[in-house]
Amino acid sequence: MSKASIIKPDRQLGDKVGKTGGPTPEQAILRALNATENLSEAYQGWAVDDLQDLWRAFQESASDEGAEVRKMFNIAHEVRGQGGSFGFPLITSISDSLCKVLEPRTSLTRRDMEVIRIHILAMKAVFHQGLKGDSGNAGKVGHELPQLLAALRKRSGA
């Protein structure tokens, strides 16, 4: 067994980092908010691409019965994680509901496929209508749609 030794670095971290200058905390927060706003504008484009991939996986599953359950789940999970961060909490809610449909399954019934189709169309509608925010222009739909999807899942056994 060898003896342990302590290695002391030549320079301390404090020597490498300036002690003055740089943005104030307020400036740093404003920079972060501006960066988030810029990303938020780009998010809708990314999400539309994700929804196209989700729709394609759905159609492939419907046409050849080789259900792409994991692929659809992964896309829905990704969309769910990003929706609220970029001002689309309704997308997060719908994607969460879709994840609940897909997660326990390895294959899909015709009924499952209809429930999945409704979820994807609801997400497309949210982006098409630009339904952002907790209430605002999402209004009554933003409160009722998640409840309707939960009832749909329960009724279909999904």
Looking at residue 123, which CATH number applies to its domain?
Answer: 1.20.120
Q: What is the pTM of this model?
A: 0.70
61 in any annotated domain: yes
pLDDT of residue 52: 92
Domain that holds residue 61: 44-156
* 6 assigned to some structural domain: no
Q: How far apart are CA 116 and CA 71, in angstroms?
A: 13
- Structural domain total, the chain: 1
Contact 108, 69 (CB under 8 A): yes
- Is there a domain that residue 2 lies in? no
Instruction: Provide the b/e sequence for 84-114 (b: ≥16 CB within 10 Å).
Output: bebbbbbbbbbbbbbbebbeebeebeeebee
Which residue stretches of the chain have pLDDT < 70?
1, 17-19, 36-41, 63-67, 133-140, 158
In a domain, residue 117? The reply is yes
So what's the pLDDT on residue 77? 93
Q: Are 158 and 115 in contact (CB under 8 A)?
A: yes
Q: Which long-range contacts (CB under 8 A, 24 or more apart) does 52-55 make?
A: 54/79, 54/120, 54/123, 55/120, 55/124
Over residues 31-72, the pLDDT tens digits come to 877 776 666 667 777 788 889 999 999 988 876 655 688 899
* CB contact at 8 A, 112 and 126: no
**Cα(144)–Cα(83) distance, integer angstroms:** 18
Mean pLDDT of the chain: 81
Flag whether 12 is in a domain: no
